[in-house]
Amino acid sequence: FYCASRLLIIEVDGDSHFTQSGERYDAQRTAVLESKGLRLLRFTNLEVMEQFESVCERIRDLLKI
């Protein structure tokens, strides 16, 4: 998800992100996006499914809403 007004990207990572190639790709992608002034906030699928309120709270805290 992308919030242009806050320069924030929220990503929900599935299993493919936890392979060696997935982690390498994510690190490169994160570096490129951060170099453009964007912030990334990552959650796992499991976090979203099992700790939804906590995920929402972290997003609200970051956005200060």
pLDDT tens by residue, 16-45: 766 888 889 889 999 999 999 999 999 999
Q: Is the Cβ–Cβ distance between 23 and 30 less than 8 Å?
A: no
Calpha distance 65→49 (Å, rounded)? 22
Question: What does the alpha-carbon distance between residue 33 and residue 24 come to, in Å, rounded to a whole number?
Answer: 14
- Cβ atoms of 53 and 35 within 8 Å: the answer is no
pLDDT exceeds cutoff 80 at 15: no
* Other CB atoms within 10 Å distance of the CB of residue 62: 13
